[in-house]
């Protein structure tokens, strides 16, 4: 793995991890649930939304943990790539089915697609005995 690839991989894992961990924890422990765009009306819906935020925080923690030993966590990095690929599929389907959302949609889509490709292709490999 080249230095550029390593720095890019660590940077994207750190960015994804910090973003998901912080926003997930804020969502879990916020005094209310939702905002003007996503409002949970019932107790069940609020519970589901907080559980969703908890899953986000857990994915963020896993991504951050992968930064410390990427060879050992190479399968986790690949799994994060699959998660990001499914996020890209979901956003693309939403674009077709629901219309174009405002704001930063295409930037998010591009970054998530880039993360998916990098996590799936640049995750460190175990070196085989006798391999250079």
Q: pTM for the complete prediction?
A: 0.86
Per-residue pLDDT 10s for the chain (132 aa) are 789 999 999 999 999 999 999 999 998 998 877 666 677 778 888 899 899 999 999 999 999 999 999 999 999 999 999 999 999 999 999 999 999 888 889 999 999 999 999 999 988 887 655 544
Domain count, the chain: 1
Q: Is residue 87 a part of any domain in this protein? A: yes
Q: C-alpha distances in angstroms, 17 versus 28, 88, 100, 114, 126?
A: 16, 17, 27, 15, 23
- Structural domain that includes position 32: 3-122
Q: Is residue 7 a part of any domain in this protein? A: yes
């Amino acid at each position: 793995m080249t230095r550029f690839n390593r720095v890019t991989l660590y940077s994207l894992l750190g960015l994804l991890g910090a973003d998901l961990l912080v926003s997930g924890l804020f969502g879990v422990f916020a005094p209310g649930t939702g905002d003007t765009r996503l409002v949970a009306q019932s107790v069940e819906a609020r519970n589901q939304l907080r559980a969703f935020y908890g899953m986000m925080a857990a994915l963020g923690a896993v991504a951050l943990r992968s930064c410390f030993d990427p060879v050992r966590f190479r399968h986790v990095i690949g799994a994060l790539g699959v998660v990001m690929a499914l996020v890209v599929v979901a956003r693309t389907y939403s674009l077709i089915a629901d219309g174009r959302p405002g704001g930063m949609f295409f930037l998010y889509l591009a970054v998530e697609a880039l993360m998916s490709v990098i996590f799936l292709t640049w995750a460190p490999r175990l070196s085989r005995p006798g391999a250079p």
